[in-house]
Amino acid sequence: MTAQRKILVLNGPNLNLLGMREPAVYGSVTLGDIEAECAAVAEDLDLALDFRQTNHEGQLVDWIQDAIGEAHGIVINAAAYSHTSIAIHDALKAVALPVVEVHLSNIYKRDDFRHKSLVSPVADGVICGLGSDGYGLAIEAIAKLIA
């Protein structure tokens, strides 16, 4: 029997406020709702789920590094750090795990400063604009990448 594979789902700043944050953009879903959706998808795929959120860039870098030898793939919504963080870009490149980037909103329909993501060049795939469904789709994509 093989050990259960683990998917790390990382969430960046202000995503803890989902549900009350800009509902016209992000809807009414909470991060707890998204975690429950991810847990259901992961269970169906027989994957272990490690779901986290932080408002701190260095914490995201630490968690990405900690994934070495621990997780088999990373789903990341780095939120605003997607557009600014060379440190997160470098960390994802360093760990060399399958990565799927997720954004709830379609960043290309929004402000110009959201059109560039520093995560995208080190991601295997990018899902944006599909709301919370994007997370489940990202987990399914990672499952295929590591199958």
Please report how close the Cβ of residue 54 comes to ligand DQA at its closest, in angstroms. 13
8 binds ligand DQA (CB under 6 A): no
79 binds ligand DQA (CB under 6 A): yes
80 binds ligand DQA (CB under 6 A): yes
Amino acid at 1: M
Buried b (16+ CB within 10 A) or exposed e, 77-110: bbbebbbebeebbebbeebebbbbbbbbbebeee
For ligand DQA, the closer CB: 11 or 72: 11
Residues between 88 and 117 with contacts to ligand DQA, criterion CB under 6 A: 103-105, 107, 114
Q: Mark whether 81 is an active-site residue.
A: no
20 vs 25: CA distance, rounded Å: 11
Please report how close the Cβ of residue 49 comes to ligand DQA at its closest, in angstroms. 19
Catalogue the active-site residues: 26, 103
